[in-house]
Amino acid sequence: MTPTDGQQLTVALSKGRIMKDTLRLLQQAGIPVPEDIEESRKLILESSDRTVRYILSKPVDVPTYVEYGVADVGIVGKDVLLEAERDLYELLDLGIGRCRMCVCGLPGTKGGMVSRVASKYPRIATNHFRNQGQQVEVIFLNGSVELAPLIGLADGIVDLVETGRTLAENGLVIQEEIAQITTRVVANRMSFRLKSEQIDNFVTGLRQVTEQKVQAILGRGEQV
Ligand code: PRP
């Protein structure tokens, strides 16, 4: 498990939902980002000053790249981190990609009554029910898990709820909240020591922007 060579910082970014907000935060923090990063189909891009190299990855693979040290730092959702249980340092909560991990099902079925759930997050689901002393069979699905209770594959699901629209449009309800989810910055343990200055600058910049955003929200009397 060796970190990337040299003094360039390699950052694994999660493609998809949180990409736009992540790039905005990086830019606001003054971290150099390649101009064409959103349009390009390249999977590895360097900043023009070559201080940062970005790996564009499926979110689920970000913890793997960081644990094996092929990326020094990763930006990824807490849902993925909880499921992956990788050996990483979690350095910062960016406060973006806010959603909830929930047990959901058809109205009238109680969370405590499920005996079979479908989920893209089998470890989170298994741990949750085990901690509650419930015997529940967990079936792994790759996506569109809301289908499972509708077609009789499972009594419930463990899945992310953001706006609640997917649940509502499929006649499902939240039965129990398992965890609040946001996007995190993680680091490889060895890189954290060998590239401490670069990682510190990276995290400090992002922390300042994140704290300014929180203060602005509180200043407007809104909830974070
Ligand atoms: C996620 C999640 C829910 C949906 C929740 O799915 O698994 O299905 O978003 O969002 P909402 O509360 O705003 O409706 P995603 O779009 O990532 O696709 P997937 O179902 O294929 O995983």
What values do phi and psi take at 180, rounded to 5?
A: -85, 135
Our answer on whether the CB atom of 164 is closer than 6 Å to any ligand 1 atom is yes
Give the Cα separation of 97 and 22 in Å (integer): 9
- The larger pLDDT score, comparing residue 150 to residue 4, is at 150
- The larger pLDDT score, comparing residue 12 to residue 1, is at 12
Our answer on whether the CB atom of 160 is closer than 6 Å to any ligand 1 atom is yes
Name which residue sits closest to atom 10 of ligand 1, judged by CA: 162
Q: For residue 43, is it within any domain?
A: yes
Q: Which residues of 148-182 are buried (b: 16+ CB within 10 A; e: fewer)?
A: bbeeeebbbbbbbbeeeebbeeeebeebbebeebe
Q: Match 């602005």 to its residue by tokens.
A: 216
Residue 175 is predicted with a pLDDT of 95
Q: Indicate if 175 and 205 belong to the same structural domain.
A: no
Q: For residue 88, is it within any domain?
A: yes
Name which residue sits closest to atom 2 of ligand 1, judged by CA: 160
Name which residue sits closest to atom 21 of ligand 1, judged by CA: 143
Q: For residue 38, is it within any domain?
A: yes
Average of per-residue pLDDT across 185-214: 96
Residue 112 is predicted with a pLDDT of 59
Q: Which residues of 119-129 are buried (b: 16+ CB within 10 A; e: fewer)?
A: bbbbebbbbbb
- Sequential DSSP letters for 71-110: SSEEEEEHHHHHHH--S-EEEEE---S-EEEEEEESTT--
CATH number of residue 166's parent domain: 3.40.190.10
Name which residue sits closest to atom 22 of ligand 1, judged by CA: 143
DSSP code for 172: -
Average of per-residue pLDDT across 185-205: 97
Our answer on whether the CB atom of 144 is closer than 6 Å to any ligand 1 atom is yes
Give the Cα separation of 208 and 127 in Å (integer): 34
116, burial (CB in 10 Å: exposed 0-12, middle 13-18, buried 19+)? middle
Q: Indicate if 109 and 138 belong to the same structural domain.
A: yes
What values do phi and psi take at 152, rounded to 5?
A: 85, 15
Span 101-143, pLDDT tens digits: 999 999 987 655 679 999 999 999 999 999 999 999 999 999 9
Domain count for the chain, please give it: 2
Q: For residue 122, is it within any domain?
A: yes
pLDDT at residue 18 above 60? Answer: yes
Our answer on whether the CB atom of 163 is closer than 6 Å to any ligand 1 atom is yes
- Identify the domain containing residue 38 by its residue range: 9-97+182-219
How does the average pLDDT of the chain come out, rounded? 94
Q: Indicate if 173 and 191 belong to the same structural domain.
A: no
Closest CA to 188 of 69, 15, 19, 98: 69
Q: Which atom of ligand 1 has the smallest separation from the CA of 16?
A: 17
Q: Indicate if 42 and 68 belong to the same structural domain.
A: yes
Structure confidence at residue 190 as a pLDDT band (50, 70, 90): very high
Whole-prediction pTM: 0.93
Q: Indicate if 17 and 76 belong to the same structural domain.
A: yes
Span 59-88, pLDDT tens digits: 999 999 999 999 999 999 999 999 999 999
Q: Which atom of ligand 1 has the smallest separation from the CA of 160?
A: 2
Q: Indicate if 56 and 103 belong to the same structural domain.
A: no
What values do phi and psi take at 106, rounded to 5?
A: -75, 150
